[in-house]
């Protein structure tokens, strides 16, 4: 039989009742109702309207069990009602806390409309988040008509919250913005209320809370927001993850020496393929070391028997292509010896995922955090399931994909970085778009140590980085908020951040967890947080690829009004449909631009056939010179230009040598106007060499107008 628990029995609890919650509110300027606990001096006169509330442990909905009563204040009546209320609370399984007496607030109302609000402050993977919407008994039904607003405090300020609340149905009711209504409050009072909310979150964090709810929140006759109930919860503070130092990217981009463990003397193995790819990097000639017992040299590379040899002659990058238990032991030895490699890539899986039967992942994670927290030397670890990375400028490739399956990327210097939790996704992008000017591509693997936010923070210190694209299947503990904060810093520096978030459904989350251990989360909250931080989301892989095509040629772009220049009517019509969007707008020609087009059209015998308007359809009667002249005028008006070239007309010479001057002329216009220009060649594979001419000029190339606009829409 369970012992009887009374209010005098000390019980450790994380529940915060209404009286304690009101005390917190009062510290930040809120005005909860006048109140007092029975047994103390109560601030009420006989006959004054009050509300009696029975407070019970973990009792979140008092009215459902008869723990709320409206009555005139009278000490005797109040005492008797409280005794009966205690019986009901305890019968419902809650430990009795107190009987709370509150003043009965006169509520400002609008006839026929709901006026009660709800505010929740919760701390989770996104940090502190404010949820604000309709409250009261019908809150759930009203939320379907007007969903509550969510404000992640890390990337939202009270002024932004006020502006969004003014557009919400509750805000419009409170401010009297509906026909036939009068204002119940003012913008100033609401602004003060939101400032107090942000202060309340700081206080709640300092007090060790992770939840504080106010429901309902009403307006008093003076228009002051007033919480009529408040409850909360204490929690244990979340563990603080200490990420790696930001200079680890240098070891990936420009390693002076690389060590590799797990290579076989026989060709075809993972380690052997990694070595073959490393040896194609000119700057690593004579700088590759193999960890191979019983050998002093293999395939032209010196060998050492154990990782201990790296203590005196450390390397920048150590790749462990070893079975999971052996790789874990080598990494442990490296950490214990206190030096040897700045960055370690764990190629194998089976560490920290579903195949990890020996708990190798948690053990290594604890070891890394313990040594880093203690200030001792700690390597930066990539993976497990680290499929590799590449640096096109130096031809550095650490993947285990044979060269006959995947060619080396084009040797170029770019400003675009591609990060991916899926190694296969990274390789597919590299294969599909070898022309893109990447500076770095990294497969993040399972992110046991170095994770997406660590890379974003490190890239914020790189003045050459202008755009980052990331494929994400989930966030580990602490990664989401850190990612948002790092992304916000990048956006403040003018760096574009593009993300495709896979695993948005339950099935997708389960599939992601099966191979990367990615953690499922609240996708809507993730989107809200990251979108506010400046991240651009793609809704499909096709949209991601289209946005990449733009960023690869113009990394710092922020799409402005778009002009379409075509030689086919269907491209103009379909493009116009896609530009009828509030985020991606069509450019509008000024009278001066229209006037400037008239002599151009006349010079190319297009007057009478082509109207000087957007989209500008030059018809199949236009040659390259007409396109260049028209593009020059349109770029003076638009923020971006998409040129559709249906190549079947005789007036366009599609032979690569003949098309090269046309492509270079368009590239010069792009540079002169400092605006992005893309080319669309809507045709079959017979015209791939024609497309390559424009790619060689550094222009983004698409096979459909809608694909080009899909990429712009994603970045808009």
DSSP secondary structure letter of residue 4: P
Share of the chain above pLDDT 70, in %: 95
| pLDDT for res 510 | 44
C-alpha 395/C-alpha 434 separation (Å) is 13
- How is residue 699 annotated by DSSP? -
- Both 220 and 303 in a single domain? no
The contacts of residue 412 (CB under 8 Å, 6+ apart) are 392, 393, 437, 438
- Locate 318 and state its tokens: 């150590």
What is residue 195's predicted lDDT score, i.e. its pLDDT? 96
pLDDT tens-place string over residues 421-453: 999 999 999 888 887 888 999 999 999 999 999
Contact 667, 696 (CB under 8 A): no
SS3 per residue for 511-580? HHHHHHCCCCCCHHHHHHHHHHCCCEEECCHHHHHHHHHHHHHCCCCCCCCEEEEECCHHHHHHHHHHCC
The reply to whether 566 and 711 lie within a common domain is yes
Asked if 571 and 654 sit in the same domain, the reply is yes
Do 96 and 64 belong together in one domain?
Answer: yes
Average pLDDT over residues 683-689: 94
> Under a CB-based contact definition with an 8 Å cutoff, are residues 329 and 342 in contact?
no
Q: Flag whether pLDDT at 509 surpasses 80.
A: no
| The pLDDT of residue 247 | 87
Same domain for 552 and 431: yes
At 130-174, the pLDDT tens digits run 999 999 877 788 888 899 999 999 999 999 999 999 999 999 999
CA distance 716 to 558: 7
Minimum mean pLDDT among 102-106, 238-242, 245-249, 539-543: which range?
238-242
Average pLDDT over residues 505-515: 45
The secondary structure of residue 236, as a DSSP letter, is P
On the question of a cis peptide bond just before residue 476, with omega within 30 degrees of 0, the verdict is no
- Whichever domain contains 354, its CATH number is 3.40.50.720
- Asked, for residue 110, whether it belongs to a domain, the answer is no
Work out the number of other CB atoms within 10 angstroms of the CB of residue 672: 10
Is 395 among the domain residues? no
Cβ(133)–Cβ(143) below 8 Å: yes
pLDDT digits (tens, 9 = 90+) for 92-101: 999 999 999 9
Number of domains in the chain: 5
Strand-by-strand arrangement of the 49-56 sheet: 35-37, 96-103, 49-56, 68-72
Answer yes or no: is 247 within a domain.
no
Across residues 211-218, what is the average pLDDT?
95
Backbone phi, then psi, for 213, in 5-degree steps?
Answer: -120, 140
Query: Contact 468/495 with Cβ under 8 angstroms?
Result: yes
Average pLDDT, the chain: 91
Backbone angles phi, psi at 490, to 5 degrees: -65, -45
pLDDT interval class at 225 (50, 70, 90): very high
Pair (551, 576) in one structural domain: no
Q: Mean pLDDT over residues 169-189, rounded? A: 96
For residue 471, what are its two tokens?
Answer: 């494929």
Is there a domain that residue 646 lies in? Answer: yes
- Whether residue 569 lies inside any domain: the answer is yes
* CATH code of the domain covering residue 188: 3.30.470.20
Q: Which of 113-117, 496-500, 566-570, 667-671 has the lowest mean pLDDT?
A: 566-570
Q: Tokens 């809150």 sit at which residue?
A: 139
Kindly state whether residue 10 falls inside one of the protein's structural domains. Answer: no
Close Cβ partners of 111 (under 8 Å, ≥ 6 residues apart): none
pLDDT greater than 90 at residue 334: yes
62-99 core/surface letters (b: 16 or more CB in 10 A; e: else):
beebebbbeeebeeeebeebbeebbeebbeeebbbbbb
Q: Which of 78, 103, 128 is the last residue of a domain?
A: 103
Percent of the chain with pLDDT over 90: 79
Classify 604 as helix, strand or coil.
coil
Note the pLDDT of residue 11: 41
Residue 301 structural domain = 257-386
Residues 373 and 459 in one domain: no
Indicate if 97 and 73 belong to the same structural domain: yes
Q: Can you give the C-alpha Rg of the chain in angstroms?
A: 32
Please check the confidence at residue 511 and state whether its pLDDT lies above 60. no
Please give the C-alpha separations between residue 714 and each of 346, 676, 710, in angstroms, as whole numbers: 34, 15, 6
The answer, yes or no, to whether residue 5 has pLDDT greater than 80, is no
CB 472 within 8 A of CB 501: yes
Residues 546 and 597 grouped into a single domain: no
Q: Residue 409's pLDDT is what?
A: 66
Instruction: Out of 556, 586, 619, pick the residue that ends a domain.
Output: 556
For 284-329, how does the pLDDT look when each residue is reduced to its tens digit (9 = 90+)? Answer: 999 999 999 989 999 999 999 999 999 999 999 999 999 999 999 9
Count of beta carbons in the 10 Å neighbourhood of residue 54: 27
Q: Judging by DSSP bridges, how do beta strands 438-443 and 297-298 pair with one another?
A: unpaired
Query: Chain-centre distance of CA 429, in angstroms?
Result: 20
- pLDDT of amino acid 149: 95
Q: Which of 198, 207, 118, 214 is nearest to 155 (CA)?
A: 198
Comparison of pLDDT for 436 and 5, the residue scoring more: 436
224 in the same domain as 98:
no
Provide the CATH number for the domain around residue 461: 3.40.50.261
Region 16-23: mean pLDDT is: 93
Residue 10: which pLDDT band, with cuts at 50, 70 and 90? Answer: very low
pLDDT surpassing 70 at residue 508:
no
Closest CA relative to residue 309, chosen from 283, 274, 350, 339: 339
pLDDT in tens, 46-86: 999 999 999 999 999 898 999 999 999 999 999 999 999 99
Helix (H) or strand (E) holding 395: none
Q: List Cβ neighbours of 374 (8 Å cut-off, separation of 6 or more).
A: none
Tell whether 150 and 206 lie within a shared domain. Answer: yes
**pLDDT tens string 571-595:** 888 887 778 776 788 999 999 999 9
* Residue 21: band (very low, low, confident or very high) from pLDDT cuts 50, 70, 90: very high
| 274 neighbors 320 (Cβ within 8 angstroms) | no
pLDDT, residue 517, reads: 44
**398 lies in a domain?**
no
262 Rama class: left (phi>0) / alpha (psi -120 to 50) / beta: left
Tens-place pLDDT, residues 461-490: 988 899 999 999 989 888 999 999 999 999
Q: Is residue 348 part of a domain?
A: yes
Same domain as 312, residue 351: yes
Task: Fill in the DSSP letter of residue 493.
Answer: T
User: Contact, 263 vs 275, CB < 8 A?
Assistant: yes
Of 540, 556, 572, the position where a domain reaches its end is 556
């Amino acid at each position: 039989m369970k012992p009887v628990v009374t209010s005098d029995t000390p019980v450790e609890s994380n529940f915060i009742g209404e009286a304690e919650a009101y005390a917190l509110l009062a510290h930040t300027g809120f005005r909860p109702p006048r109140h007092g606990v029975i047994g103390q001096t109560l601030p009420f006169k006989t006959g004054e309207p009050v509300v009696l509330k029975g407070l019970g442990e973990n009792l979140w909905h008092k009215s459902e069990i008869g723990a709320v009563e409206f009555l005139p204040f009278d000490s005797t009546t109040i005492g008797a009602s409280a005794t009966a209320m205690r019986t009901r609370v305890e019968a419902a399984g809650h430990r009795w806390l107190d009987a709370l007496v509150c003043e009965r607030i006169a509520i400002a109302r609008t006839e026929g409309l709901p006026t009660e609000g709800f505010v929740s402050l919760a701390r989770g993977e996104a940090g502190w988040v404010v949820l604000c919407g309709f409250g009261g008994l019908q809150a759930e039904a009203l939320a379907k008509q007007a969903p509550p607003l969510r404000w992640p405090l890390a990337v939202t300020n009270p002024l932004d919250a006020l502006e969004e609340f003014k557009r919400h149905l509750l805000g419009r009711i409170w401010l009297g913005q509906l026909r036939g209504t009068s204002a119940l409050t003012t913008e100033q009072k609401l602004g003060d209320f939101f400032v107090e909310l942000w202060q309340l979150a700081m206080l709640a964090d300092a007090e060790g809370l992770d939840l504080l709810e106010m429901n309902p929140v009403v307006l008093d006759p003076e228009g002051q927001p007033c919480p009529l109930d408040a409850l909360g919860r204490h929690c244990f503070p979340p563990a603080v993850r200490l990420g790696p130092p930001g200079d680890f990217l240098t070891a990936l981009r420009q390693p002076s020496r690389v060590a590799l463990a797990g290579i076989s003397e026989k060709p075809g193995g993972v380690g052997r393929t990694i070595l073959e790819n490393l040896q194609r990097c000119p700057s690593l000639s004579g700088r590759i070391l193999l960890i191979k017992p019983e050998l002093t040299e293999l395939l032209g590379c010196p060998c050492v028997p154990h990782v201990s040899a790296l203590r005196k002659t450390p390397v920048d990058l150590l790749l462990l292509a070893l079975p999971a238990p052996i790789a874990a032991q080598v990494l442990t030895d490296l950490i214990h010896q206190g030096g040897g490699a700045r960055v370690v890539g764990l190629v194998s899986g089976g560490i920290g995922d579903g195949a990890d039967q020996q708990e190798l992942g948690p053990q290594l994670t604890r070891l890394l955090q313990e040594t880093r927290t203690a200030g001792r030397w700690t390597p930066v670890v990539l993976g497990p399931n680290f499929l590799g990375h590449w640096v096109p400028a130096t031809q550095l490739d650490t993947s285990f994909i044979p060269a006959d399956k995947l060619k080396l990327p084009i040797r170029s210097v770019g400003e675009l970085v591609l990060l991916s939790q899926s190694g296969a996704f990274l390789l597919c992008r590299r294969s599909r778009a070898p022309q893109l000017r990447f500076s770095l591509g990294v497969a993040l693997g399972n992110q046991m140590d170095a994770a997406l936010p660590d890379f974003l923070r490190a890239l914020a210190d790189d003045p050459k980085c202008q755009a980052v694209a990331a494929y994400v299947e989930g966030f580990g503990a602490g990664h989401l908020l850190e990612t948002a904060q790092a992304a916000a810093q990048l956006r403040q520096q003018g760096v574009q951040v593009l993300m495709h978030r896979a695993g948005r459904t339950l099935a997708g989350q389960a599939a992601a967890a099966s191979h990367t251990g990615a953690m499922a989360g609240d996708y809507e909250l993730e989107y809200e947080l990251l979108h506010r931080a400046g991240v651009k989301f793609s809704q499909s892989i096709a949209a991601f690829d289209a946005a990449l095509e733009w960023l690869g040629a113009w990394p710092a772009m922020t799409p402005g009004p778009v002009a379409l220049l075509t030689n086919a009517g269907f491209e103009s019509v379909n493009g116009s449909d896609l530009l009828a969007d509030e985020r991606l707008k069509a450019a509008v020609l000024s009278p001066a631009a229209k006037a400037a087009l008239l002599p151009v059209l006349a010079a190319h015998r297009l007057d009478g056939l082509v109207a000087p308007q957007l989209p500008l359809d030059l018809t199949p009667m236009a040659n390259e010179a007409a396109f260049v002249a028209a593009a020059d005028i349109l770029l003076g008006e638009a923020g971006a230009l998409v040129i559709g070239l249906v190549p079947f007309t005789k007036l366009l010479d599609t032979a690569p040598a003949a098309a090269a001057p046309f492509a270079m002329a368009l590239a010069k216009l792009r540079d002169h106007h400092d605006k992005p220009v893309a080319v669309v060649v809507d045709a079959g594979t017979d015209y791939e060499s024609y497309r390559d001419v424009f790619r060689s000029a550094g222009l983004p190339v698409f096979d459909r107008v809608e694909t080009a606009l899909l990429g712009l829409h994603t970045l808009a």
